[in-house]
Copies of this chain bind each other. A is one copy, B any other.
Amino acid sequence: MIKEMYTFEDFLRQPIGDRLPYYEKDERLYHIMISQQFSYPFLEKLFDTADLIKYITRKPNGIEFLTSLLKHKRAMLYFTQPSTRTFLSFLSACQIVGIHTGEVRDPTLSSEMKGESQEDGLRTFSSYFDLIIMRDSKAGFCEYMSYLLDLTGRSVPIINGGSGKDQHPTQALLDVYTLHRSFQERGGIPGKVYGFVGDLLRGRAVRSVIYLLTRYSNLEMFMIAPPRLQIAPDLEAHLKDHGVKVHKTDNLEEALPHVDSLYMTRVQDEYDLSGESEILDYSKFHLTIENINLMKDDAIVLHPLPRRHEIDPRLDSDPRAMYWRQLRNGMYIRAALLLYLFNMEHRLVDY
């Protein structure tokens, strides 16, 4: 009768296949936790759905059709880590497909003051809402919450909206979706050269998108970073296992002519309590009105945003700058994911 459950610490010690029973299984996804869950067929189907949503939203009656699809559902946006951008992207995605929302964005307002565990808080949300979208600063915490909710026998889907230094699976989806659209008329994602610039060690967006790209074949990657912020050994091993040709360098200008796509990132100094990153000369890793001309004419520039000084704002009007479109793509791919989770994506053909 009494169910034993792992503590958070014990849970993290389990192998990933035990922690995430759905990991690498070819099933309909329930919780959205990590990039590794997304298979190639899943991606292709989701991208088609997002394309359709983008097309349908162009007309007022299309927007009304979309908002009718999930108007019987309600979602909780639980963002204990500050994030205006991701929060509003999910909110917009919910509104596009008609989902009503509630939100907790400031944990100091919550009943945690009264000594409640976060587990009980999550269970409360699952009692009121049909879906939980959460961001938390603790790596693995979203997964632990999905484990606990499943134990209750009355679970709802959880979407990981970014956890710690760890994973940001929907950011990876929107990044790869943007690549997919940009290279659509040029043979798609396979066979292209991808540059990644900045803090490749700690940026969770970079880690998530790189994992996801290994679903595609015949890739070459330039990892452009200060030596101390180069990609982690486990990620490099993963790339080699998947046959990706990897170049590591700290020279941006030498790499620029080679890449079809350049993924810029900022220094993750909110994780850097020692202040070390302030000493690094990061300006060598900036894209400027001068060095962008080393890139091919049909290359594209991505950035997960927010940016600081990595990209000169005057480049926003360059046709290679794809990061603002990437941002909007995030809204459409998240809306597609919501339709998928509630098994409604097939309804789009009704329009």
Contact = CB atoms under 8 A, between A and B. Distances in A.
A63 B72 contact: yes
A299 to B, nearest CB: 15
A223 to B, nearest CB: 23
Given A1-B317, A120-B307, A318-B2, A128 B89 contact: yes
Given A92-B129, A114-B270, A85 B124 contact: yes
Given A88-B102, A128-B331, A116 B317 contact: no
Interface string A1-42: 111110000000000000000000000000000000000000
A82 B109 contact: yes
A67 interface: yes
Interface residues on A, range: 35 or more
A194 to B, nearest CB: 24
Interface stretch (A44-52, A232-240, A308-316): A308-316
Contacts of A89: 128
Nearest to A126: B324
A313 B5 CA distance: 10
B95 A314 contact: no
A71 interface: yes
A327 interface: yes
Contacts of A83: 111
B72 A84 contact: no
A224 to B, nearest CB: 21
Contact of A127 (B100, B289, B327): B327
A274 interface: no
Contacts of A91: 102
A105 interface: yes
B106 A109 contact: yes
Nearest to A91: B102
Nearest to A116: B306
Nearest to A128: B92
Interface in A295-333: 305-308, 313-319, 324, 327-328, 331
A217 interface: no
Contact of A5 (B5, B116, B154, B314): B314
Interface in A77-135: 82-85, 88-89, 91-92, 95, 100, 102, 104-106, 108-111, 113-117, 119-121, 123-125, 127-129
Interface string A248-284: 0000000000000000001000100000000000000
Given A111-B306, A120-B306, A306-B115, A316 B152 contact: yes
A318 B1 contact: yes
A60 interface: yes
Nearest to A104: B84
A64 interface: yes
A63 B72 CA distance: 6
7 contacts: A1-B318, A2-B317, A5-B314, A82-B113, A84-B104, A114-B266, A116-B307
Given A1-B319, A88-B102, A113-B270, 10 more contacts: A64-B71, A82-B108, A84-B124, A88-B104, A106-B106, A114-B306, A120-B306, A124-B327, A127-B324, A152-B324
